[in-house]
A and B are shown apart, each in its own frame.
Chain A
Amino acid sequence: METPTPKERLLGVLNKEQELVDRPPVICVGGMMNAAVVEIMERTGRRLPEGHGDVDLMVQIALDVYEQTGFENFGLPFCMTVEAEVAGSDISLGSLSCEPKIEKEAYPSVSDVEFRDVEDMLRSGRIPVVLGAIEKLSRSHPHVPVTGTLTGPISLAASLVDPVTFYKELHLKRERSHEVLDYVSNLLAAFAERMVEHGASCIAIGDPSATGEILGPHAFKEYAVRYINRIADRVRIAGVPVILHICGNIGSVKHLLPELRVDAISTDVVVSLVRLKEEFPGLVTMGNVSTYLLEFGDPDRVARTTTRLVDEGIDIIAPACGLSTSTSLALIRAMTDAAKETRPRG
């Protein structure tokens, strides 16, 4: 087999074209899984938070991350506040070591959410910056996949309405909750379509507020599955595959995985991906090197964990959750190097 390019390898896995794949790709998708750690930015002098709002700086930082970590993709944006900002919430861009966050949700209740025009939102805030950076990177590096990463619909809704109120209202104001989720899903799907138009090779969705532990199976099915599918369907019509990351223990919602119309599932470290694959043959899995190990472990242990995942047949190797910005490059490299060592696959 000719060695595939990183883009061919990742898309081969996601499109289930095994004949194109020599080994699992090792990636870090962006958004909540931002890989722009402090050590890289201190070395280069090209820094966040400035890079969150500047196309050229965003491109440069993505290149720095690509070159120094060994991850085989460009993961953009570097945070999960881009969508909430254009929908009206106050955000803080944080600092070099502290990622952007929601300062104040725009609305006290789902009843108060004003539905803004999607096209207007796509022209505002940092959305043009993200799209511009995706375009530049996909043109300058056609063999490297750009993973455009979205904040999941439940997390975005919980960034617009105070989360405690929002979770209660999933129960108490169901109809209105659906209207709000419909609204945020339209924004997210349209943003993803633009990402694809600008050159994104696939779309990743991270929805940390939509865990099985928080929502339980009933609300997960009624809200998370429904709106994630709505976004995923539009992304797939746009022509690229979708990766979904689910935080936490998925025990209570595992039976719902077959209902999710996504191309790969990424999970947290508490979930055994190899067992998940046994239970759902054909499921494409991504993960799940402990981010705690990546921050506090040593290179040997990181490499061993990574090798174990490769040997178990995990399809895409990735951090299990968001990387700490103080994670060292040495440990990230231990992971990416171990994943790239070619071994006969049995």
Chain B
Amino acid sequence: MGDKKQLFQDMSDAVVAMDEERVVALARTVIESKVDVYEAIENGLSHGMERAGQLFEEEEYFVPELLVCSDAMYAGLDLLRPHLTQCEGGSKHKVVIGVIEGDTHDIGKNLVKIMLETGGFELHDLGRDVPAARFVQKAGEIDADIIAISTLMTTTMDGMAEVVKLLEKENLRDRVKVIVGGGPISQGFAARIGADGYAAHAGAAVNVARGLMNGDRAHAR
């Protein structure tokens, strides 16, 4: 159906264009014309957000643009979500995310959260300035698949290693993957503290997370 395809493309374009009003109008069209809501989210809203993430990686978009795109996407999502049937929502991989204690910068974390949500993960956001133990406790509580930790400050990198150690102590290490990122973090650092993955950009976090989940089918739900 050409119309439907065009509608999804328009939604995707409106997200990339940061045009929240247009996204909302198109989402209403989806509902009124009884187009498949799940498809509209996947091929319209998420598609647009992934393109925005791509532009971010290519340094055409920066943080302000990406945040405004995500607002447009969420405005559409808020309208469409109530129309999803239960099974379409599906069970998703769960991610506990937060900024490690000592750091109150949460821009990077928020971007990763947006991109992971867009990528189909269920996010549990602990906010900023989070003690290592809180990550582990929350992960145990909700049976998380991934802990994603961010920092912008070199002064707080120890806390990331602490999360890995605590997971080991609690015998959760083989059930929960740990991904780290943020300004001062490198692949080398991630490996040194025993993290499973490192993402240089918010966009890359989705691929890293998906890769880890595919390599861990036993725990996939």
A interface vs B, CB < 8 Å? Answer: 98-99, 101-102, 163-164, 167-168, 170-172, 208-209, 213-216, 218-219, 247-248, 251-252, 291-292, 295, 321-326
In the complex, the answer to whether A170 meets B64 with C-beta atoms within 8 Å is: yes
Find the B residue at minimum CB distance from A249. B183
Q: Which chain A residues border B65 with CB–CB below 8 Å?
A: 171, 216
Given contacts A292-B154, A295-B154, 10 further A-B contacts (CB under 8 A): A164-B107, A164-B110, A214-B62, A251-B59, A252-B62, A291-B154, A291-B155, A322-B154, A324-B154, A324-B155
A105 → chain B, closest Cβ, in Å? 10
**With A and B bound together, what is the CA distance between A29 and B189 in angstroms?**
27
Find the B residue at minimum CB distance from A216. B62
In the complex, the answer to whether A167 meets B183 with C-beta atoms within 8 Å is: no
Ordered by A's residue number, 21 sampled pairs between the chains whose C-beta atoms are within 8 Å are A98-B102, A101-B129, A164-B67, A164-B106, A167-B63, A167-B67, A171-B65, A171-B68, A214-B63, A215-B64, A216-B59, A218-B62, A219-B62, A251-B59, A252-B62, A291-B155, A292-B157, A292-B184, A295-B155, A324-B155, A326-B155
Q: Which chain A residues border B129 with CB–CB below 8 Å?
A: 101
In the complex, the answer to whether A215 meets B62 with C-beta atoms within 8 Å is: yes
In the complex, the answer to whether B63 meets A215 with C-beta atoms within 8 Å is: yes
Q: Which chain A residues border B18 with CB–CB below 8 Å?
A: 171
In the complex, the answer to whether A168 meets B154 with C-beta atoms within 8 Å is: no
A252 → chain B, closest Cβ, in Å? 6
B187 interfacial by beta-carbon distance below 8 Å = no
**With A and B bound together, what is the CA distance between A208 and B105 in angstroms?**
10
A163 → chain B, closest Cβ, in Å? 6
Name the residue among B64, B65, B183 with the largest chain A CB count within 10 angstroms. Answer: B64
B55 → chain A, closest Cβ, in Å? 11
B204 interfacial by beta-carbon distance below 8 Å = no
Q: Which chain A residues border B155 with CB–CB below 8 Å?
A: 99, 291, 295, 322-326
**With A and B bound together, what is the CA distance between A247 and B107 in angstroms?**
15
